[in-house]
Structure 1
Amino acid sequence: MVTSFFKKLFNIRDRNEQVKFTGRTAVEKRQQTPTPTVKPIIEVSPKLAVESQLDLSSLFYSFLFASTQTDTTGIANNLERRVMQDIERALSSPQAIAENVLKLPSKILELDKKLADDNIEIQELIQLIEQDPLLCIEVLKLCNSPAFKRAEHDVTSIQQALVQVGRQQLRQFITSCLAREMIDIKPIYFRRFGAEIWRHSMQVAFLASELAIPEQRERAFLVALLHDVGKIAIFKMLVDAFYQAEPGEQPSSMLFKQVMTSKSLALSALLARYWQLPQHFEAPLTLLANTNIKPDDQMTLVIWKANIISECSMLKQVDKLPQSALAVLLAQVEISEQEFADLHQKLIEF
């Protein structure tokens, strides 16, 4: 019964189904059969779209927090209320967050600008990168990671990395390594969050770069990499509040997860403004903060799609996303199940 339903829903033909002989040639069939109009797999109403994204975000936060508690009443506990008050203060005064909670590495924009300058000689570029030994180590780690490794032998120098992965890819690696400095989760209990949120940010950056038009790929990568800085800032507030919480209190209410979804994106945009990032970085982050609508701006739409695909992939990997919910979400980002399956296999490597 379920199998037949999905076959009807996705118009899947059984592999054993016999093709009936009609007496017409293939050419005649093409001439007589009107070209079918391509339609989305599922028609998603605006209400269903909003609900499915909220459910996805809630599932994703449950995965990040690894909480055994589940509260669907919408009532926040003391820990959550304290953090929600901190979030409101941060939104009214992002300066304190940008200076004390989540600092943007000073080198990130300066180095990114130089890497984008084609007039800089290769040797000068290599020397510039090698001035920071820790950065070199992190870049080489990334070059040799399963997601990006291109050859049998490991990359052992920045010069070799430049030859093997190219200037554009190396620029993305360096930007990623510098941005990672912001995710510094000390307590062991919360290290999983830090690792998973960084993995998510890298996945979204990779997907955004793949989905963007060629002239926007570099910008899409960096905007996507920074889209979750508000989430990281809020989590650091949560870590501070956790020390003052009652034993056993954890972030578990649906209300708190919804607040994190909407407020974290707004905070990302405010932090981008305070850091004085170019307008073309701040604008998509501001548009993403409106979680009730699908964005129509090209750059914002790319980040929006990449975020949904990554969250679906990470939840599917731990078997936390129902197939019916996945179908609705894939219809929104306009990719087929097979396309998602291919991307999912790639994202597992991150």
Structure 2
Amino acid sequence: MVTGLFKKLFNIRDRTEQVKFTGKTSGEKRQQTSQKKFSPVIEVSPKLAAESQLDLSALFYSLLFTTNHTGSEGIANNLERNVMQSIELALSSPQDIAENVLKLPNKILELDKKLADDEIDIQELILLIEQDPLLCVEVLKLCNSPAFKRAENDVTSIQQALVLVGRVQLRQFITTCLARELIDIKPIYFRRFGAEVWRHSMQVAFLASELAPKEQRDSIFILGLLHDVGKIAIFKLLLDAFYQAEPGEQPNSALFKQVMTTKSLTLSALLARYWQLPSHFETPLNVLANTHVKPSDDIALIIWKANIISECSMLLQFDKLPHSALVVLLAQVELTEEEFSELHQKLIKF
């Protein structure tokens, strides 16, 4: 059912009509739209596509920071200015971030390579995974989660997981658990940020792997998990800045949200290069870093679309997405509101 929806996402056409981000919230429009069998298809120009996605990403930060008010449009406070200076330093020296702020687990690519080897013996593979008890626990949690559970009874062993979910899905679960180590938000107040960013990354990985051609699904799943590592790195810089900030200072301004949106993707690409990830990871991230242009690269476009769908879903869940904005964004991925609603019900289980 979900796979059928994604088949409609290919062959996105550039459109010309412009629609502004104004109007009622999705909650106020939900009853009206539920009565329509098909939502009207609007025209979206390439320029509007890029602008609306940037607006969406900036709005997405309202989920990540627990603030009580909206800051000024263009004035950054001292906290934000300090973080933006740190971001510029990080962009000029990504190795410092990779080594001291956001270290990629050494075993993630090594184990993924072994999991991709069809020649490796199944029992050898199981023993390899079971050498890490914490990894096993996390994998079994994923197998039994509402988003992925396939059997009535709980999965209780790696061997059982291999039988029930298959080797490809198990590989994705293991990669997910290893990549999860990148987010280690210790202060309780800020754990929501880590939880929401990770949930978003999982959704993008899932959506992208469904969108991708079969032979590319495994690698694009990892790309979906890692596309937001720059955002995680910047937030860890923000945590350091909080210790020196004035009481009550929060990252509220629209300017700061725009910087977080544009610079985080650039930092993701730089980190991929420093980690020496394969070019099929780094190249799409470099394309995505140009936030003012809708991607033309096939892989980057898939991540771009998956990101839009996930951010729309998460904002809709908290009734923070204006209906007029949702209409524009869904037009870019050729989803009707009914199709998106069905997909949204799947994503909220993550």
TM-score between the two structures when normalised by the length of structure 2? 0.88
Paired residue type of 2:165 = V
The answer as to 2:182 corresponding to 1:182 is: yes
* Structure 1 match to 2:142: 142
SS of 1:291's partner is coil
What are the superposed Cα offsets for residues 14-55 of structure 1, whole Å, 9 maximum, x if unpaired?
79xxxxxxxxxxxxxxxxxxxxxxx98111133432332222
What are the superposed Cα offsets for residues 224-263 of structure 1, whole Å, 9 maximum, x if unpaired?
1000000000000000101110000000000000000010
SS of 1:181's partner is helix
User: Residues 89, 137 of structure 1: CA spacing in aligned structure 2 closer, same or farther, 3 A cutoff?
Assistant: same
Distance in 1 between residues matched to 2:303 and 2:49, nearest whole Å: 17
* Structure 2 match to 1:253: 253
Distance in 1 between residues matched to 2:250 and 2:35, nearest whole Å: 47
* Structure 2 match to 1:307: 307
* Structure 2 match to 1:155: 155
The answer as to 2:131 corresponding to 1:123 is: no
| Cα offset, 1:71, TM superposition | 1.8
Distance in 2 between residues matched to 1:264 and 1:270, nearest whole Å: 10
| Cα offset, 1:13, TM superposition | 9.2
Point out which structure has higher relative CO (alpha carbons under 8 A, 6+ apart): 2
* Structure 1 match to 2:198: 198
* Structure 1 match to 2:133: 133
Long gaps (5+) in structure 1: 16-38
| Deviation >2 Å, runs of 4+ | 12-15, 45-51
Distance in 2 between residues matched to 1:137 and 1:339, nearest whole Å: 34
Distance in 2 between residues matched to 1:51 and 1:327, nearest whole Å: 14
Structure with greater Cα Rg: 1
Paired residue type of 1:251 = P
| Cα offset, 1:297, TM superposition | 1.0
| Cα offset, 1:67, TM superposition | 1.5
Distance in 2 between residues matched to 1:13 and 1:261, nearest whole Å: 35
Distance in 2 between residues matched to 1:261 and 1:170, nearest whole Å: 32
CA contact (8 A) 2:204 2:224 kept: yes
User: Residues 168, 161 of structure 1: CA spacing in aligned structure 2 closer, same or farther, 3 A cutoff?
Assistant: same
Paired residue type of 2:110 = E
Distance in 2 between residues matched to 1:68 and 1:47, nearest whole Å: 32
Instruction: Report the number of matched residues.
Output: 320
Identity %: 78
Distance in 2 between residues matched to 1:46 and 1:307, nearest whole Å: 17
The CA RMSD measured in Å over matched residues stands at: 1.9
CA contact (8 A) 1:40 1:334 kept: no
CA contact (8 A) 2:183 2:194 kept: yes
* Structure 2 match to 1:45: 45
Distance in 2 between residues matched to 1:276 and 1:68, nearest whole Å: 41
User: Residues 123, 55 of structure 1: CA spacing in aligned structure 2 closer, same or farther, 3 A cutoff?
Assistant: same
* Structure 2 match to 1:222: 222
CA contact (8 A) 2:47 2:293 kept: no
* Structure 2 match to 1:262: 262
Long gaps (5+) in structure 2: 1-23
Distance in 1 between residues matched to 2:182 and 2:151, nearest whole Å: 30
What are the superposed Cα offsets for residues 71-94 of structure 1, whole Å, 9 maximum, x if unpaired?
232111000000000000000000
Range with bigger deviation, 132-141 or 40-49: 40-49
Range with bigger deviation, 329-338 or 278-287: 329-338
Paired residue type of 2:82 = R
TM-score between the two structures when normalised by the length of structure 1? 0.88
Distance in 2 between residues matched to 1:103 and 1:227, nearest whole Å: 15
What are the superposed Cα offsets for residues 116-175 of structure 1, whole Å, 9 maximum, x if unpaired?
000001000000000000000000001000000001110000000000000000000000
* Structure 2 match to 1:71: 71
Range with bigger deviation, 319-328 or 61-70: 61-70
Map 1:225-244 → 2, pairs under 5 A: 225-244=225-244
The answer as to 2:107 corresponding to 1:111 is: no
| Cα offset, 1:342, TM superposition | 1.3
Paired residue type of 1:260 = M
* Structure 2 match to 1:31: none
